[in-house]
Amino acid sequence: MRPRRSTAAPVHRSDDRSVAAGLSPRRSGRLTGRPLIGLAVAVSIVVSLTAAGAAGAAGAAGAAGAKGATGATTTSTPAGAQAAGGTAAAARSEIDATEAQVIQLEAQISREQDTLDQADELYNQAVVTLDSTRTALEQTEASIEQVRTTLRSQRAQLRTDAVQDYIDNSSSSVVAQLFSAPTTGAQIRDTYEGVGAGDVVQAVARVQAGQKRLSETQATLLGEQRQETGQLGREEQARQSAAAASSLSEATLAQVKGTLSQQIAQQAAADAAAAAKAASTSRTPAGARAAAAQAAAASQVASTVSGGSQAAAAASTAANQAAASAGGTTFAYGGNPTAAGLAAVHAAMQYLGVPYLWGGLSSAGVDCSGLTKLAWANAGVSMDHSAADQYAAFPHVSPRSLEPGDLLFYDFGGQGIDHVVMYVGPVLDGEPTAYGAGTIIQAAHTGTVVTFDPVWSEDFVGAARP
């Protein structure tokens, strides 16, 4: 049977239909590593199924024990009902404890995420501040270089003007002053001013003063850059520490959720087995159908929260057994795989993990009939991109004698075939498959990826072999 579908949005199939999503047993709602129904929902479903199973056991045992061999009635509580109730309570207690741990970890992660967000913001602010300082420093250094260039030019002009003034206008006394090796800055300035280069001298002085101011600015900016670089390092360290703490909590949460999933799946498998037994021993068709429905629901939960696990496989087997007891379809492996069928299965496996895409027909996304079309094309068989057309195009086979590559068809909406999956079987490449003889591969619906899933009997129309 299939896990329940997400309650989030409509799901689209390959045959131009959309069906409102819900918790009715439809195609697999499992997205690898991320169940589409929440663990809280799964917990509530399992608890209700467990309670229903315990009540059913109590009712059955009570009916059997109410009258003795002489026909006398008794009011004693049956031991079987007490045992069932005790088991259900113990399972619920374990699940509650793990669920409480999940809630606590989620709250802790939320706080740690807030800390990480703050650390990220402080780090980003530090980066912006440091970048601004570096930009200002680069501009200051460029200005200093420009001033140096100007200063060199002014000094060269000063020398040229002095020489030219000497050639054109200087008297012998001025020449004597020019070459008298003045000893102080004031003497130098007075000498050049005396030979007609006063304007250039003043320009040089202004440039030198500007250079001094820029050098002071540069020193200030360098100091700020050192401080801001240190602050950036501290913010980065804080951010890394917050991220590490959050990652550790996330890993712990994933582990605890895994434990919770296993507990839920194991309890669901037990519920499915109990329902299958009830279906097989029911004396009325209505009782068998009710038990089969319970087994189907339990199997859906197990496959959703722990797809591919032993518990999910056991729940699926029990659900199909219950369906058979209630007069539903049973599926069996024929044991005579064909080369073409195996080639189709291997081709379908190339799309494992590819997202479902309504109308999709490529590695970017596929829908149900798109996957089967692509897979069988690899085996040299052409078919339409339509589940209904595929069913009509090929010979029909018994679900009790299936081979790898066979196609199984379903009618979910009651308006005709609208889904197709590919049968895989119990063994593939010498290794056992996830769900044994009930293993299929499919593109389920929007929000899922191509994956292996357990076969289910509800809404089954028929099987065909390309």
In CATH, what number is assigned to the domain containing residue 448? 3.90.1720.10
Residue bearing tokens 């895989």: 424
Residue 397, domain member (yes or no): yes
The answer to whether 443 touches 356, Cβ cutoff 8 Å, is: yes
Residue 134: pLDDT band by 50, 70, 90 thresholds?
Answer: confident
Residue 72, domain member (yes or no): no
The answer to whether 5 touches 38, Cβ cutoff 8 Å, is: no
Using the Cα atoms of residue 282, residue 315, residue 11 and residue 40 in order, give the sign of their dihedral.
positive
Residue 37: pLDDT band by 50, 70, 90 thresholds?
Answer: very low
Q: 298 with 446, same domain?
A: no
Mean pLDDT of the chain: 77
Count CA within 13 A, CB hemisphere, residue 239: 17
Residue 64 has pLDDT above 50, yes or no: no
Ordered DSSP codes for 179-221: TS---SHHHHHHHHHHTT-HHHHHHHHHHHHHHHHHHHHHHHH
Residue 466, domain member (yes or no): yes
Q: 322 with 404, same domain?
A: no
3-class secondary structure per residue, 72-118: CECCCCCHHHHHHHHHHHHHHHHHHHHHHHHHHHHHHHHHHHHHHHH
Q: 93 with 9, same domain?
A: no
How many whole angstroms separate alpha carbon 408 and alpha carbon 387?
9
Instruction: Label the pairing between strands 11-12 and 427-428.
Output: unpaired
Q: 416 with 464, same domain?
A: yes
Residue 320, domain member (yes or no): yes
Per-residue model confidence (pLDDT) at position 41? 57
Per-residue model confidence (pLDDT) at position 6? 34
Which of 25-34, 212-221, 440-449 ranks highest by mean pLDDT?
A: 440-449
Residue 83 has pLDDT above 80, yes or no: no
Residue 105 has pLDDT above 90, yes or no: no
Which of 110-114, 160-164, 461-465 ranks highest by mean pLDDT?
A: 461-465
Structural domains in the chain (count): 2
Q: 355 with 386, same domain?
A: yes
What's the full length of the chain, in residues?
466
Q: 462 with 422, same domain?
A: yes
Bigger pLDDT: 270 vs 166: 270
Task: Kindly report the backbone phi and psi dihedral angles of residue 20, in degrees, each rounded to the nearest multiple of 5, phi listed first.
Answer: -60, 130
Residue 426: pLDDT band by 50, 70, 90 thresholds?
Answer: very high
Residue 250 has pLDDT above 80, yes or no: yes
Per-residue model confidence (pLDDT) at position 456? 84
> For the stretch 278-306, what's the b/e string if a residue is b when 16 or more beta carbons lie within 10 angstroms of its beta carbon?
bbeebeeeebbbbbbbbbbbbbbbbbbbb
pLDDT digits (tens, 9 = 90+) for 441-451: 999 888 889 99
Q: 284 with 342, same domain?
A: no
The answer to whether 373 touches 359, Cβ cutoff 8 Å, is: no
Residue 75, domain member (yes or no): no
- The mean per-residue pLDDT over the stretch 321-337 comes to 88
Q: 134 with 203, same domain?
A: yes
Q: What is the largest CA-CA distance in the chain?
A: 155
Residue 336: domain span? 1-36+332-466
Nearest to 354 by CA among 340, 384, 375, 339: 375
Q: 29 with 45, same domain?
A: no
Q: 277 with 337, same domain?
A: no
Residue 68, domain member (yes or no): no
Nearest to 434 by CA among 98, 32, 80, 72: 32
Q: 323 with 365, same domain?
A: no
Residue percentage of the chain with pLDDT more than 90? 26
Nearest to 311 by CA among 255, 254, 267: 267
In degrees, to the nearest 5, what angle opens at C-alpha 307 toward C-alphas 258 and 57?
90
Residue 69, domain member (yes or no): no
Residue finishing a domain among 328, 358, 383? 328
Q: 29 with 98, same domain?
A: no
pLDDT digits (tens, 9 = 90+) for 149-165: 887 786 777 677 666 66
Cβ contacts of 377 within 8 Å, gap of 6 or more: 347, 383
Residue finishing a domain among 279, 297, 328? 328
Bigger pLDDT: 459 vs 11: 459
Residue 279 has pLDDT above 80, yes or no: yes
Bigger pLDDT: 230 vs 306: 230
Query: Collapsing DSSP states into helix, strand and coil, what is residue 379?
Result: coil
Residue bearing tokens 């797809």: 307
How many whole angstroms separate alpha carbon 454 and alpha carbon 320?
10
Residue 369 has pLDDT above 70, yes or no: yes
Residue 70, domain member (yes or no): no
Q: Is residue 6 packed enough to be buried (19+ CB in 10 Å), middle (13-18) or exposed (0-12)?
A: buried
Residue finishing a domain among 328, 358, 390? 328
Residue bearing tokens 């590559």: 405
Residue 399 one-letter amino acid:
P
Entry pTM: 0.52
